Structure 1
């Protein structure tokens, strides 16, 4: 398996305009099964290179929230407005009139569960034409500004009445700050990242870390990859994005995945109680469908369905596949992704996990998705073969 997988991955980064770089790792309860990293640039990368994790951050922030639930500081049904003033009187965007956006007060309170499960009514401008129009008409700064005001978006629906992928986990980070009395980055460092040995994961990069960043590219309409520059975040933003602001290495993030695959423990260090891990991986959205994005800004993301043809659910931090996937992922497993085309899974039945990471925009890149799915299929087939032998 390793030789075949290595060739599969190296062929992809060496061929013109397929992938600028790729890192792939997999593990089970006995340790790391496979790792690879490569780039089309001569300098190359390895599994200690720095990648923008983007929405892979969401599960890390959800882990912090569950820690505070364990301690009795929060409950999942805590009204978020009790902790964060901006969430105390949410408004719903009903449309647009001659005088601008039409807003009405929400009838339901937003809970911490809503924020983590994407049932709060929050969205992203890249996934909603209405929110994109609102941002322009309201003159909001872009989220890349790192300002708190850039997250002050109206809701798309009543809290708890639907599922829509959005900035709810960013606001969950603000709840964590208020409830813990610590900035989110400080809390995560002390209670999640440092205990897991994730020394290269954070919201800002020092000079040495910035020099280890994997190259970022954009794929144009003709399928060609062009280098793009994303400035390294060297100073802390006003509003730390718990939903998408983390940078880190594949090796670091695999430690996090192994902790969740291991029921909350990694190398003898308990991060979460088993009951909390189970709650994170249980359906939190009832009959609604999760795990999809409809693009409103094609330069940022294509339409995306993590597991096409399956009515996926959502837990607290990631999508849930209720059935066995085409890649052989066991039923009731979880996984998700990051905007720069990084993807991961945690297979509960096999106590295994894996990740595939590259750095391309727009999201849902066909080459990256195809390679991720072939990688996961190969890993799951190998694990099944070991179990049968």
Structure 2
């Protein structure tokens, strides 16, 4: 059955749906599949593979969330505490209600947002590519978006009152700041000492070495003729802060070790990262009656297509949760997420399977790439 999975990747690259693809999967005993198709860089001869370096973007969020949950377990961080208890500057944020001409109309929030609301994307913070008001606010104030690496992004307003809506946004970048305040340690050091080094994830970091950079997959863009070409797009390599929301580079081999830790109740090969109770909570609905939006229209087509998962999704701690079985694919209660440059992972604790698929291009989630992801997952489950 491995050949049927290989064919999914090869077809997607040959058709031009993606510039390259790496897929990988494991059960609780170890790797059960790895495969790749296409060159590391369009037009080149160096093949992409599970040891290639990718900007995993928002797959960073679960790593930063685990760092926060470790502090909760150790009694250094309280989920129900107000964010401004750890980061007093949070109290300066207000809710954006609209504009008077080009002047933003702001008002105080109706309640003090909590650390848990950061973890669950319910503070009211958003991202520019899914929120037109934030695009307009950035333009009117001259504030760069979150990919700039600038601390200026932490002045961005809420666009809803805390606790009233699930809105995906820069919450995990704020969580990284909270984690640093609660621990007295930089997020980069905390992640390395407590997560990546214990798990043997030696190729995962916020900044790449020269050797890793030479092995990195560039972000590709599709030309008008439908062909892929590598771009010069890159994250800031001298950022003001380490971005808990999107800053990590990793390899499919490395990140699979993190996935396997989650699959195995917080422990991998005798190394405990989280307690089973905490992992159970991460895979449990933490947003109550709120829902992950069934449809999110894009306001920046260069960054993302519309994101239309449909109904039936919740959010745990750092994870998107499907509330129903996906036919031929993951079971209900699986946790998953993705990165803006088109990297995706899921952890199905019911079946005992975790998988991931990687490419490196913009914009996010074109339909032909979503088809490849689904075909990979279905072929994998059919092979079990």
Contact 1:84-1:175 within 8 A present in 2 as well: yes
Higher alpha-carbon deviation: 173-182 or 98-107: 98-107
Counterpart for residue 300 of structure 2:
297
Task: Supply the distance in 2 between the matched residues of 1:146 and 1:55 (Cα, whole angstroms).
Answer: 14
Higher alpha-carbon deviation: 133-142 or 326-335: 326-335
Are 2:297 and 1:310 equivalent residues in the alignment? no
Contact 1:206-1:234 within 8 A present in 2 as well: no
Matches within 5 A, 1:210-225: 210-220=213-223, 223-225=226-228
SS of 2:75 mapped into structure 1: coil
Task: Supply the distance in 2 between the matched residues of 1:151 and 1:219 (Cα, whole angstroms).
Answer: 32
Task: Supply the distance in 2 between the matched residues of 1:369 and 1:380 (Cα, whole angstroms).
Answer: 17
Contact 2:4-2:379 within 8 A present in 1 as well: no
Displacement after TM superposition at 1:234 (Å): 4.2
Counterpart for residue 331 of structure 2:
330
SS of 2:383 mapped into structure 1: helix
SS of 2:199 mapped into structure 1: coil
Matches within 5 A, 1:45-194: 45-98=48-101, 100-194=103-197
Cα displacement string for residues 209-230 of structure 1 (whole angstroms, at most 9, x for unaligned residues): 0000013212356654332122
Task: Supply the distance in 1 between the matched residues of 2:331 and 2:52 (Cα, whole angstroms).
Answer: 30
Task: Supply the distance in 1 between the matched residues of 2:285 and 2:226 (Cα, whole angstroms).
Answer: 37
Cα displacement string for residues 272-297 of structure 1 (whole angstroms, at most 9, x for unaligned residues): 00011011111111111116533110
Contact 1:93-1:156 within 8 A present in 2 as well: yes
User: Which residues of structure 2 form unaligned runs of 5+?
Assistant: none
Contact 2:219-2:231 within 8 A present in 1 as well: yes
Cα displacement string for residues 218-246 of structure 1 (whole angstroms, at most 9, x for unaligned residues): 235665433212236544x1121101111
Are 2:29 and 1:30 equivalent residues in the alignment? yes
User: In the alignment, which of 251, 272, 275 is matched to residue 273 of structure 1?
Assistant: 275
SS of 1:361 mapped into structure 2: coil
TM-score (normalised: structure 1): 0.94
Task: Supply the distance in 1 between the matched residues of 2:32 and 2:116 (Cα, whole angstroms).
Answer: 34
Counterpart for residue 226 of structure 1:
229
Higher alpha-carbon deviation: 180-189 or 4-13: 4-13
Contact 2:5-2:380 within 8 A present in 1 as well: no
Q: Tell me: CA distance 1:275–1:138, structure 2 relative to 1, closer, same or farther (3 Å).
A: same
Contact 2:148-2:235 within 8 A present in 1 as well: no
Cα displacement string for residues 45-69 of structure 1 (whole angstroms, at most 9, x for unaligned residues): 2111100000001110110010000
Higher alpha-carbon deviation: 125-134 or 138-147: 138-147
Provide the aligned C-alpha RMSD in A: 1.6
Counterpart for residue 12 of structure 2:
12
SS of 2:24 mapped into structure 1: strand
Q: Tell me: CA distance 1:232–1:213, structure 2 relative to 1, closer, same or farther (3 Å).
A: farther
Task: Supply the distance in 2 between the matched residues of 1:104 and 1:224 (Cα, whole angstroms).
Answer: 47
Q: Tell me: CA distance 1:355–1:100, structure 2 relative to 1, closer, same or farther (3 Å).
A: same
Task: Supply the distance in 1 between the matched residues of 2:279 and 2:196 (Cα, whole angstroms).
Answer: 17
Contact 1:285-1:315 within 8 A present in 2 as well: yes
Contact 1:333-1:347 within 8 A present in 2 as well: yes
Higher alpha-carbon deviation: 170-179 or 88-97: 88-97
Q: Tell me: CA distance 1:9–1:98, structure 2 relative to 1, closer, same or farther (3 Å).
A: closer
Counterpart for residue 2 of structure 1:
2
SS of 2:344 mapped into structure 1: strand
